[in-house]
């Protein structure tokens, strides 16, 4: 193709007749050989993940897949789905509800975690001292600290498991410790506990794997897209059109608690 002022560039996927290459790899060669989470890692970063990185990203995606009928994104998606519209319309409505208040604090939390580490390095102080300064600064300027606290959970099981898994996978960077230092500094400063939430744990794990902060919000959205679609299909299959959806009146009637093995 002749290059001119209209030319623009993309480094993601090269498409030609009967050939699609993601970051250089033939997509039909990737199929069957790497998992979707590994392909997502490749698409975002341009390189194949290590086994540990792939496993941790898989866990991040599993952690965000669904949260039942409580999130506003789910309620928005089901409300729109009840109007007899295409799947994509209901899904788009759900995705549009994801933002700073719900599912969209990962990028900001990655920034805070990185600043905490950088401050410790630059000032020659400990992560605990650095975290205390970050918390004090947030308090002084009235900003909420992203990655802490959850409406439902006092100990978010997804956050705890992600941090444990990062350790199992031998991620030994300073980002998870930095987030834990922030959690502790918050307790010290406010005399109340606001534990690490799933956004925070995802953020710290993504920092450990060197993702740019700008990419942070994408993973929760990919994961939750699956959950939203399942809710939309259930809404269409089980409910009447144009029904009133009472957010507190949902009762779970799926399989009882069971264990993997």
- Give the residue with the Cβ less far from a copy of itself, 127 or 231: 231
Q: 29, 13, 31: which is closest to 21 by C-alpha?
A: 13
Secondary structure (3-state) at 102 = strand
203 binds a copy of itself (CB under 8 A): no
In terms of CB distance, is 10 or 124 closer to a copy of itself?
10
Does 40 sit near a copy of itself (CB under 8 A)?
Answer: yes
Q: Give whichever of 5 and 140 is closer to a copy of itself, judged by the CB atom.
A: 5
CB-side exposure of 75: number of CA atoms within 13 Å? 12
Helix 36-45 with 51-63: angle, nearest 10 deg: 100
What residues contact 71, with CB distance under 8 A and at least 6 apart? 97, 102, 103
Q: Which of 53, 91, 182, 200 binds a copy of itself (CB under 8 A)?
A: 91
Based on its alpha-carbon atoms, the radius of gyration of the chain, rounded to whole angstroms, reads 21
Task: Supply the minimum distance, in Å, between the C-beta of residue 243 and a copy of itself.
Answer: 8
Residue 116 as a binder of a copy of itself (CB under 8 A): the answer is no
The Cα–Cα gap between 166 and 53 comes to 9
| CA–CA dist 172, 175 (Å, integer) | 9
Mark residues 9-28: x for contact with a copy of itself by CB under 8 A, - for none: xxxxxxx-xxxxxxxxxxxx
Q: Is 168 in the site for a copy of itself (CB under 8 A)?
A: yes
- State which of residues 51, 141, 170, 255 lies at the interface with a copy of itself (CB under 8 A): 255
Q: Is 231 in the site for a copy of itself (CB under 8 A)?
A: yes
Site string for a copy of itself, 134-153 (x = CB under 8 A): -----------------xxx
Q: Count residues contacting a copy of itself (CB under 8 A)?
A: 131
Residue indicated by tokens 């975002």:
44
């Amino acid at each position: 193709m002749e290059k001119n002022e209209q030319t623009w560039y993309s480094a993601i996927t090269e498409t030609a007749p009967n050939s699609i290459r993601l970051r250089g790899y033939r997509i039909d060669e990737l199929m069957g050989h790497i998992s979707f989470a590994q392909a997502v890692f490749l698409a975002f970063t341009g390189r194949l993940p290590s086994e540990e990185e792939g496993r941790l990203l898989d866990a991040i995606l599993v952690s965000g897949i669904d949260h039942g009928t409580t999130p506003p994104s789910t309620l928005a998606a089901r409300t729109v789905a009840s109007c007899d519209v295409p799947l994509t319309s209901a899904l788009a409505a759900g995705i549009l509800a994801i933002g700073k208040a719900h599912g969209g604090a990962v990028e900001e939390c990655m920034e805070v975690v990185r600043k905490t580490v950088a401050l410790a390095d630059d000032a020659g102080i400990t992560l605990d001292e650095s975290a205390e300064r970050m918390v004090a600064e947030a308090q002084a300027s009235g900003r909420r600290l992203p990655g802490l606290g959850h409406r439902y959970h006092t100990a978010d099981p997804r956050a705890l498991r992600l941090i444990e898994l990062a350790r199992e996978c031998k991620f030994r960077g300073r980002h998870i410790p930095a987030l834990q230092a922030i959690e502790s500094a918050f307790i010290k400063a406010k005399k109340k506990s606001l534990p690490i939430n799933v956004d925070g744990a995802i953020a710290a794990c993504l920092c450990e794997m060197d993702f740019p902060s700008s990419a942070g919000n994408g993973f929760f959205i990919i994961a939750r897209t699956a959950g939203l679609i399942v809710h939309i299909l259930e809404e269409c299959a089980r409910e009447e059109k144009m029904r009133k959806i009472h957010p507190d009146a949902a009762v779970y009637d799926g399989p009882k608690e069971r264990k993997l093995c």
